[in-house]
A and B are shown apart, each in its own frame.
Chain A
Amino acid sequence: MMTTVKQAEKFAAKTLTEDGLIDFFSGIGLIAIGYFWLIDNSALSAIMPLAIVNFWKISRKRISEPRIGKVTLARGKKGNVRAGRTILIIVSLTLAVGVILWLKGGAGDVQGTWYYPLFAAGPSLFIATITFFSAIYLKCPRFFGYAGWIIAAAGITIWLGEGPARALMISGVPFLVVGLWTFAKFLSAHPKADQ
């Protein structure tokens, strides 16, 4: 059967998400960042994204690539890349404003201040934005769901008076569960291939 350019693009993008590893490691990452933040270990929280990306790359190389092959996706369409970058800058600035207000207030307890929701929702909003654009770039609808869930989790935790750390931990759970389930399905569907 012939394939259109659009179908080929979809097929290539699917290769990056069909093993569920990206979901699984994102889940582990979010839960770990939230946990380390909660126990005030910001150093471990900060190195987590880098560690997670490396674990994901190694796992893909060892588990997924021998089964489904390796593909390097082309850069996204210029317009999409520009729009993504602009929104990410806006969200980053919002986050920075939150931190500046927090520092100005003596870096103390922010709960009860008018800017508390901004401070508490900032990290989640930032990650939700990245997740939203990942959904577009990877052509993977479940990432839209994750982005929505991250925002909902942030809203609920703020409403309950909890901080951003718990919001991140709760956000990671669906990533982890869906990732594990997708990974199990992937392993049974794709036996190791020989070159």
Chain B
Amino acid sequence: MALKPEALDKVIHEPARLLIMTHLYVVTDADFVYLKRATGMTAGNLSTHLTKLEGAGFVKITKSFQGKKPKTTCKLTAKGRKAFEEYRKNILEVLKT
């Protein structure tokens, strides 16, 4: 049976967000500095995409202070993890020959 277009989550399908989701999928949590280095994005770009992923309920963002410095920690929510696995399964299905 053919996959419906909505089978590929639009929030995850965007390349930058897919990259963030991939990096968060393999770890328990990661801070902003790590994600910036892992994805190669600018701080502003990364922040925008993280906000979108947080809005979709895929990422949980925790802001704290380490001394006087702000610290942002991100982790995939259970919903985000499930959505990523679903996306992965579906995209593999689409690309199957």
Footprint of B on A, CB under 8 Å?
A: 2-5, 8-9, 11-12, 15, 65-74, 193, 195
Please name 19 pairs of A and B residues whose Cβ atoms are closer than 8 Å in the assembled complex, sorted by A: A2-B18, A3-B23, A3-B38, A5-B25, A5-B26, A5-B88, A12-B23, A12-B27, A12-B38, A15-B34, A66-B33, A69-B31, A69-B35, A69-B38, A70-B31, A70-B73, A72-B28, A72-B29, A193-B33
CB of B13 within 8 Å of the partner chain: no
By a CB distance below 8 angstroms, the chain A residues around B22 are: 3-5, 8
By beta carbon, the residue of chain A nearest B30 is: A71
CB of B5 within 8 Å of the partner chain: no
Choose among B25, B26, B69 the residue that contacts A195 (Cβ–Cβ < 8 A). Answer: B69
Residues of chain B touching chain A, judged by Cβ–Cβ distance below 8 Å, are 15, 18-19, 22-23, 25-38, 69-73, 88
In the complex, how many angstroms separate the beta carbon of B36 from the nearest chain A beta carbon? 7
In whole angstroms, what is the CA distance A109 to B38 when docked?
55
Q: Are A11 and B38 in contact (CB under 8 A)?
A: yes
A69-B36, A72-B27, A195-B70 given. 4 additional CB < 8 A pairs? A71-B29, A73-B28, A74-B27, A193-B33
The minimal Cβ–Cβ distance linking A181 to chain B, given in whole angstroms, is 22
Instruction: Judge whether B25 and A69 touch: CB under 8 Å.
Output: no
A73-B38 Cα distance, complex, nearest whole Å: 14
With contacts A3-B19, A11-B38 taken as known, whether A71 is within 8 angstroms of B25 at the C-beta atoms is: no
Chain A: minimal CB distance from B40 (Å)? 8
- Give the chain B neighbours of A72 by CB distance below 8 A: 27-30
Collect the chain A residues with CB atoms within 8 Å of residue B38's CB.
Answer: 3, 8, 11-12, 69
Q: How far is the CA of A8 from the CA of B18 in the complex (A)?
A: 12
- B87 CB to closest chain A CB, in angstroms? 12
Contact partners of A15 in chain B: CB under 8 A: 34
Q: Are A69 and B72 in contact (CB under 8 A)?
A: no
**CA distance in complex: A96, B34 (Å):** 42
Closest to B72 in A: A195
Known: A2-B18, A195-B69. A69 touches B23 (CB 8 A): no
Given the interface pairs A68-B37, A69-B31, A195-B71, the reply to whether A2 lies near B26 with Cβ below 8 Å is no
Q: Which of B18, B26, B34, B36 has a CB less than 8 Å from the CB of A9?
A: B26
**A107 shortest CB reach to chain B, Å:** 45
List B contacts of A12 (CB < 8 A): 23, 26-27, 30, 38
With the chains together, A65 CA to B35 CA distance in Å? 12
Contact A8 B26, CB 8 Å, known A65-B33, A195-B32: yes
Q: Which residue of B lies closest to A190 (CB)?
A: B37
- Most B CB contacts (10 A, CB to CB) among A4, A71, A72 go to A71
Determine the residue in chain B with the shortest Cβ distance to A192.
Answer: B33
CB distance from B25 to the nearest CB of A (A): 7
